[in-house]
Structure 1
Amino acid sequence: MPVAEPVVNPDDGSHGGDDGGTIGGTPPSPDQRGRRRVAGVAAVALIAAAAGVGGAAAYDAINGDDNSPVVSSLNTGNDSKSAPTGDVEKVAQKLLPSVVQINVRGSQEAGSGTGIIISSDGQILTNNHVVEAAADGGSITVSFNDATNAKAEILGRDPVTDLAVIKADGKSGLTPAALGSSNNLEVGQEVVAIGSPYGLDSTVTSGIISALNRPVASSGGAGDNDQTVFPAVQTDAAINPGNSGGPLVDMEGNVIGINSAIRAGTTTSGDAGSIGLGFAIPIDLAKNVSKHLVKGEKVQHARIGVTVAPAVSSDDITGVGAEIKEVNKGSAGDKAGLKTGDIITAVNDSPVVSSNALVASIRGYQPGEKITITYTRDGQKKTAEVTLDSDGGDLGS
């Protein structure tokens, strides 16, 4: 479900505004200015936490026991030992064996990011922008917590949600991370982030969830013209370039988000760094996408089929919703009776204050789900039940 918000180059340290979006349309090309030193530094309306600078470790493929049973995080009912609530050390001890550094080299760039082991035979969840540089003939090496290394290949990518799954060669007996849920999170809840900022693997930071359902717009990867907007889990836990693809974890050791973007400050050396505004893709969204990627299936994304722009109050500053500029004939929005000029203000009673907020909200649902949209028409408040369409899927190739 692409959008038409501008994308700001991560090297200039600035951030863009909300200039409208297309739900089910074709987005314009984002600004691709500036140098690109590392694989996976996504251009973000805030700024990507992207794959940071870090040398690739030497390849040392370890052959495992092919007869070992495969355990996957994506299967329900996994027996996972919880860490004591409030104990960052115990959470780190539990998760570190399930977190890897991903070293990527493409034809014109190289760098590193983070990944989460989701199966005992080497399936790893990460961001699309971490591995995209290797999608066309590049190479990927995974560095594990036990200091071993293995080559990896991409199983599937989805630029629309900025997610990807890779598979490490010749591995078995790995420890999959426990994937929690993002539908019951609370602002102020303690969390831990783990990753490889600037190539410094196994780095642990802690903080709180500072906001939920924050609409964040970013590109899906290096040189990628597609944009993604997701309903982010916002945290003040330190996240820096290289943390992308790594876990945001609750205090029971369950992954509740995939660290993907930051609003960054700039150091004296010119590098972008954390200022306490990090953003993670909710794990419920990541699980839904990953279940398709591991099978090589198309990932279908929900859409309404309307083009929207920011709606502001009479002060020309305060956002009050998403104004419909066009309704595609025969779309979910058309069937629900939405019209040009309607201002959408809520989805399932969750406020919508901008076009980005609407796109992010719809991103959290699946095609075929029914939602209730609240909108105003000629100053009158109305509601409509919408059965979401599908964009047909995108393999990310």
Structure 2
Amino acid sequence: MDASLPSRRRRRTARRTPLSLTAALCAVALAGGCSPAGTTAQVSAERPGRAAHSAQPAPLTQRSGNDLQTDYETVIRNVLPSVVQIEAGNSLGSGVVYDGQGHIVTNAHVIGSRRTFAVTVANSEQPLRAELVSSFPEQDLAVIKLDTMPRGLKAAAFGDTAKVAVGQIVLAMGSPLGLSSSVTQGIVSAVGRTVSEGAAGGGTGATIANMVQTSAAINPGNSGGALVNLDSEVIGIPTLAATDPELGNGTAPGIGFAIPVSMVRTVADQIIKHGRVVDSGRAALGITGRTVVGPDYQPAGVAVVTARKGGAAAGAGIKAGDIITGVGGVRVTTIASLSEALAADKPDQKVKVTFTRGGATKTAEVTLGEM
């Protein structure tokens, strides 16, 4: 996704650091090459008082290089057969076998608007047919299902988000640049990142909380694949990679993001059981809005276009024409920043919303609804 890393000469801000990200989606070319889809995205730290969750790291133990190499080889043998390549029209992405019934979890931006797919598994070059079960673009996740479950294909083991900690060694598996069954390695660089992904050029426009940041290389085609720990457990679905304008918008080394496994489980389980997501767990104001600019022509808030009857905002007296400038003490200047301010909130939670009406500043306590 296209956004930009701040110039290295700029002063760092304590509040939010905009990044440029590229969806790890691969366009199919006749010569087999790939180019990244372009969508805007932004990364920010969690709002004050909402510390990103990180488990306490295990006690350090000394390991030889041979031990670590053996661990890598074991993880690859265990997990790589569960990672597939997905062809959706003119794009390529990756997926992870979720269960023994042929369900595969991937990114919503990988499948786009397609309903049928060609899936290539690790032990065969002959593509298999799969159909869409359901997509949940709000979290950039989707589930597809193979028509037949081939012999030897097994579901991956999925880990525990609560045990993901900064410094853990991880491997990213997928089909970067169309090279199926590829593996890169790195560490968990951070947890609790909030990422806003633009809708242009193939993105879903989702704002995703609690993303896992990793130094493992994430390239076009990795989207929907597996971020795996040394216990052979999937801990995230690689989705985004940062780009740096100073590198000609090339991928910024060592800055990638994966959707946490807790959200992957939540969405996939509901889609498989109900055919759709019935409980997103994501908060919403129940409005449609647009970014407005101030006298200095800089983004200055979100104008309410409609406030759904019975929705959270309408219930608190917010109406069309009001301009939202803050949520829960966090400044709101754009649609993306409004989504980020709500990303870690839950339905039925009460928050203070600051807005202007006719030039006067007002505050309302809003009981949040569900996305």
Match of 1:92 in 2: 76
Unaligned runs of 5+ in 2: 7-18, 33-62
Q: Is the 2:156–2:233 Cα contact (8 Å) retained in structure 1?
A: yes
Match of 1:123 in 2: 103
CA distance in 2, matches of 1:208, 1:166: 29
Match of 1:237 in 2: 216
Q: How does 1:315-334 map to 2 (within 5 A)?
A: 323=301, 325-326=303-304, 328=307, 330-334=310-314
Residue of structure 2 aligned with 1:141, choices 118, 127, 130: 118
CA distance in 1, matches of 2:343, 2:28: 30
Q: 1:97 to 1:274 in 2, by over 3 A?
A: farther
Match of 1:23 in 2: none
Q: 1:311 to 1:163 in 2, by over 3 A?
A: same
Instruction: Determine helix, strand or coil for the equivalent of 1:92.
Output: helix
CA distance in 2, matches of 1:331, 1:243: 38
Give the superposition deviation at 1:244: 0.6
Instruction: Determine helix, strand or coil for the equivalent of 1:201.
Output: coil
Q: How far does the alpha carbon of each residue in 1:275-306 deviate from its partner, in whole angstroms, 9 at most, with x for none?
A: 22212222222222222333463435542224
Q: 1:253 to 1:52 in 2, by over 3 A?
A: farther
Give the superposition deviation at 1:241: 0.5
Q: Which amino acid aligns with 1:227?
A: G
CA distance in 2, matches of 1:145, 1:267: 37
Residue of structure 2 aligned with 1:168, choices 121, 146, 161: 146
Match of 1:228 in 2: 206
Give the superposition deviation at 1:217: 1.3
CA distance in 1, matches of 2:246, 2:78: 32
Give the superposition deviation at 1:254: 2.4
CA distance in 1, matches of 2:301, 2:277: 28
Is the helix fraction higher in 1 or 2?
Answer: 2
Residue of structure 2 aligned with 1:292, choices 270, 281, 284: 270
Normalised by the length of structure 2, the TM-score is 0.66
CA distance in 2, matches of 1:203, 1:267: 27
Aligned positions, number: 309
Residue of structure 2 aligned with 1:252, choices 206, 231, 238: 231
CA distance in 1, matches of 2:154, 2:102: 9
CA distance in 1, matches of 2:265, 2:197: 20
Instruction: Determine helix, strand or coil for the equivalent of 1:294.
Output: helix
Relative contact order higher in (CA < 8 Å, ≥ 6 apart): 1
Q: Is the 2:325–2:331 Cα contact (8 Å) retained in structure 1?
A: no
Match of 2:132 in 1: 154
Match of 2:39 in 1: none
* Percentage of matched positions with identical amino acids: 33
Give the superposition deviation at 1:374: 5.1
Q: Which amino acid aligns with 1:210?
A: S
Match of 2:40 in 1: none
Give the superposition deviation at 1:175: 1.8
CA distance in 1, matches of 2:317, 2:327: 16
CA distance in 2, matches of 1:377, 1:230: 24
CA distance in 2, matches of 1:209, 1:156: 30
Q: Which amino acid aligns with 2:275?
A: E
Q: 1:207 to 1:16 in 2, by over 3 A?
A: closer
Q: How does 1:202-217 map to 2 (within 5 A)?
A: 202-211=181-190, 212-217=192-197
Q: Which amino acid aligns with 2:99?
A: S
Q: Which amino acid aligns with 1:101?
A: Q
Q: How does 1:1-397 map to 2 (within 5 A)?
A: 15=4, 46-53=21-28, 87-104=71-88, 106=89, 110-132=90-112, 134-135=114-115, 140-147=117-124, 149=126, 150-171=128-149, 174-183=153-162, 185-211=164-190, 212-219=192-199, 222=202, 227-231=205-209, 232-264=211-243, 273=251, 275-295=253-273, 297-300=275-278, 301=280, 302=282, 303-306=284-287, 323=301, 325-326=303-304, 328=307, 330-336=310-316, 340=322, 343-344=325-326, 346=328, 355=334, 356-360=336-340, 362-363=342-343, 369-373=347-351, 384=365, 386-390=367-371
Q: 1:331 to 1:197 in 2, by over 3 A?
A: same
Q: Is the 1:346–1:373 Cα contact (8 Å) retained in structure 2?
A: yes
Match of 1:35 in 2: none
Give the superposition deviation at 1:198: 0.8
Q: Is the 1:306–1:325 Cα contact (8 Å) retained in structure 2?
A: no
Give the superposition deviation at 1:323: 4.7
Q: Which amino acid aligns with 2:73?
A: E
Instruction: Determine helix, strand or coil for the equivalent of 2:313.
Output: helix
CA distance in 1, matches of 2:200, 2:146: 22
CA distance in 1, matches of 2:286, 2:4: 27
Q: Which amino acid aligns with 2:266?
A: N
CA distance in 2, matches of 1:237, 1:293: 29
CA distance in 2, matches of 1:16, 1:227: 19
Q: Which amino acid aligns with 1:97?
A: P
Q: 1:50 to 1:144 in 2, by over 3 A?
A: same
CA distance in 1, matches of 2:97, 2:289: 38
Q: How far does the alpha carbon of each residue in 1:166-185 deviate from its partner, in whole angstroms, 9 at most, with x for none?
A: 11222156321122233554
